[in-house]
Amino acid sequence: QVQLVESGGGLVQPGGSLRLSCAASGIIFSTYFMAWYRQAPGKQRELVASISTSGTTNYRDTVKGRFTISRDNAKNTVYLQMNSLKPEDTAVYYCNAARFPANAWGQGTQVTVSS
């Protein structure tokens, strides 16, 4: 049974930083494509960043240069380091693990950027 547990969300002022973590269990983590998505109130869920099994990363344009995704296969964990946070980054952030045909989601962690 796949389980993804996110942590690290919270309230931060504009310009601040947060580090999200997603701990996976029930899968061979190193064989899964991992990603972070987010969903703001009234908006569709959107892809924020992804990392392949070989470590190749991709980011949506609005977070390039501010966010960094990484993975530690020994700890079955994927991270999202978020710097220079903006109010528009406010959303629930979700971890996703994919390896066709499997596709699993975490429960989400709230990130609020506000002064």
Q: Per-residue pLDDT tens, the chain, 115 aa: give them.
A: 899 999 999 999 999 999 999 999 999 999 999 999 999 999 999 999 999 999 999 999 999 999 999 999 999 999 999 999 999 999 999 999 999 999 999 999 999 999 9
Q: How far is CA 9 from the centre of its chain?
A: 10
* Burial group, residue 44, by CB count within 10 angstroms (0-12, 13-18, 19+): exposed
